[in-house]
Amino acid sequence: MGVKPIQIDIIESSKTVCSPYLDVDLYHRIGGTMKRGRELMSVLYPHQCHALQHIWEFKLKNNLLCDPMGVGKTATAIYAHEFIYRNNLNIIFCPAILTENWRREIKKWTNAKDEEILIYTSQSAKKISPSTLPENIRWAVISYGLTSSIETMKLLNDQIIFSKNCGLIFDEAHYLKNIKAVRTKVCFRLSRNQNVFSNITCITGTPMPNAATELLPLLKILNFPFVNKYKTVKAFGKDWANTHLQYIKTKFGVKTKEVFAGVKQPHLLSAYLRESGMIRRDRTLVLATLPSLRENIVYFDAAPKIKKLLETERRVIETNLRSEDLLEKIKSLDNSKHMSSIRQKISLLKIPYLIEYFENQLENREKIVIFAHHREVIKQLHDNLKFYNPVVITGETSIPDRNRFIDRFQTDATCRVFIGSINATGIGITLTASSYCAFAEMSFVPTDNDQAKFRIHRIGQNKSCEVEYLVYENTFDEVIAQICQKKSLASHSVLDHN
């Protein structure tokens, strides 16, 4: 297979009429007339226009849209499916917390009416049946959690069986990285129905959070030609990921397990991906006019009552420091009740210092965003910052409340603090009302931290941004920050190489 990477030119980003960047045929395709085409395309950024031009010019039926977080992938996907593919029905799978956001985006970028958009979550599922299903649905948004529901898939089958030229969109497609998961298997089976689904888009800013092998399910769903020869994850991993042996103690002795991490041959893999249909541009080039982003690690001095707990963490870290799969070991330790309890105790003892630090920040800033991990830590932060009218979003926050809290933080000047669980608020939200965010605790998954920090540094931000990691020395959080940086570089070597 001759590899000829497709170069997508990067142009200075500003909201201008995009006529120099799109050919006449695509204008007519999108707008019906040249005038209407200009009207529609003028609201997009140039890099979004380039992605659409790329899909049109190379006749990409399936594409992996994996520009970095915060650059407008959702709008690009909607435009492609509505105006280029011109699907009769588009089916979108996404995390439940993003279903309402998709409704808003569809209405914003198309002329779809409420009755033409079906939102299907665990809450709405009970109200929807074949008899109550509208006949004129153009967009169906389904949460990944319902892919295992027989009723949902039967309803979906009844809807699409009468439709031709359907499109599939998988948002936050890294949710499908586990090839053995039920939702991955269901989505893969759907994608094989080429008589119904004429085009597929996978959207994710982090297609390989930890290792190149996590790409394989997405590439299989998209039917990229170069992965057809790989029948197993192991076969794909041997060609494209680094491997090492993990030794696991069992009651029968020690057994070994081959573990895949990082990526090898990143430049060649990048070339294959781009040739097949990956669209990825470097964040700093795509949004050249976006303000700068600065990241700092802030070390707190440990009080005497915390030092004993920190010493326990330090010993664990030193014991495992030479392990090639340190991150996996830390994850397993964090999942143990003992170490998870120690981490939470350290974070809770850090609360007084965090509150003092955040109050100092609020003397000079209008709004701040705080990310944390443990529920009790989030509760304590909220209780101690009540004077600033904080909003809190965790995994327990309902979708309507979630959207209401985000809107309030974005628009209400008296709401000065946003406190979020990293896992619950790392995707699908915009917090550009603040140009500062801090991590009171860190996630063990590198891309979770990346996703969270880009809630403030994205389209709509007009101020220089600052991200701070508030840690004690020789703790899990400090080590995680270093590992995150290393894994982020490995991922960028594939995705951002041109």
- Same domain as 297, residue 278: no
63-92 pLDDT per residue, tens: 999 988 888 899 999 989 988 888 888 999
Cα separation of 285 and 498, whole Å?
13
- Same domain as 491, residue 417: yes
Give the closest residue to 74 by CA, choosing from 218, 203, 174, 200: 203
> Taking the CA of residue 76 as centre, how many other CA atoms within 13 Å lie in the half-sphere pointing to its CB?
28
- Cβ atoms of residues 172 and 133 within 8 Å: no
- Same domain as 281, residue 420: no
| Residue 17, pLDDT score | 33
Residue 489 has pLDDT above 90, yes or no: no
CATH code, domain with 460? 3.40.50.300
Better-predicted residue by pLDDT, 152 or 214: 214
496 — phi, psi (to 5°)?
A: -105, 5
Q: Give Cα 236 distance to the centre of its chain.
A: 23
Other beta carbons within 10 Å of 84:
18
Question: Please, which pLDDT band fits residue 2 given cuts at 50, 70 and 90?
Answer: very low
Overall number of domains in the chain:
2
Of 230-234, 381-385, 415-419, 447-451, where does mean pLDDT reach its minimum? 447-451
Cross-strand pairs, 170: 93, 202
Mean pLDDT of 363-382: 93
Residue 405 has pLDDT above 90, yes or no: yes
| Residue 112, pLDDT score | 87
* Residue 326 located in a structural domain: yes
Which stretches within 288-421 are classed as H helix? 304-320, 326-335, 337-364, 375-384, 399-411
Better-predicted residue by pLDDT, 125 or 214: 214
| Residue 69, pLDDT score | 82
Better-predicted residue by pLDDT, 159 or 37: 159
Mean pLDDT of 412-425: 94
107-140 pLDDT per residue, tens: 988 888 888 998 887 666 555 555 556 667 889 8
| Residue 34, pLDDT score | 46
| Residue 6, pLDDT score | 31
243 — phi, psi (to 5°)?
A: -125, 150
Cα separation of 498 and 495, whole Å?
8
| Residue 273, pLDDT score | 92
* Residue 135 located in a structural domain: no
Q: What is the dihedral of CA 272, 76, 217, 248, to 10 degrees?
A: 100
| Residue 168, pLDDT score | 94
Cα separation of 208 and 289, whole Å?
27
Give the closest residue to 84 by CA, choosing from 65, 70, 101, 103: 65
Give the closest residue to 48 by CA, choosing from 78, 25, 23: 78
Mean pLDDT of the chain: 80
| Residue 338, pLDDT score | 63
Cα separation of 179 and 177, whole Å?
6
What's the sign of the alpha-carbon dihedral 400, 405, 408, 410?
Answer: negative
Better-predicted residue by pLDDT, 227 or 147: 227
Range of the domain at 199: 19-88+164-286
Question: Please, which pLDDT band fits residue 1 given cuts at 50, 70 and 90?
Answer: very low
**DSSP state for residue 469 in the 8-state scheme:** E
- Cβ atoms of residues 369 and 418 within 8 Å: yes
Length of the chain: 498
| Residue 497, pLDDT score | 58
Residue 485 has pLDDT above 70, yes or no: no
- Cβ atoms of residues 56 and 24 within 8 Å: no
Cα separation of 448 and 480, whole Å?
12
- Same domain as 318, residue 281: no
- Contacts with 450 (C-beta within 8 Å, 6 or more apart), sequence order: 69, 205, 206, 484, 488
Residue 162 has pLDDT above 80, yes or no: no
Of 35-44, 46-55, 91-100, 388-397, where does mean pLDDT reach its minimum? 35-44
Domain ends where: 238, 265, 286?
A: 286
| Residue 320, pLDDT score | 56
* Residue 124 located in a structural domain: no
pTM score? 0.76
- Same domain as 232, residue 381: no
Residue 39 has pLDDT above 70, yes or no: no
Q: Is residue 45 packed enough to be buried (19+ CB in 10 Å), middle (13-18) or exposed (0-12)?
A: buried
Q: Is residue 346 packed enough to be buried (19+ CB in 10 Å), middle (13-18) or exposed (0-12)?
A: buried
| Residue 202, pLDDT score | 96
Among residues of the chain, what percentage have pLDDT more than 70? Answer: 75
Residue with tokens 């941004």: 465
- Cβ atoms of residues 491 and 264 within 8 Å: no
- Same domain as 378, residue 241: no
301-360 pLDDT per residue, tens: 777 777 777 777 667 666 655 454 555 555 555 555 666 777 788 888 889 989 999 998
Domain ends where: 244, 265, 286?
A: 286
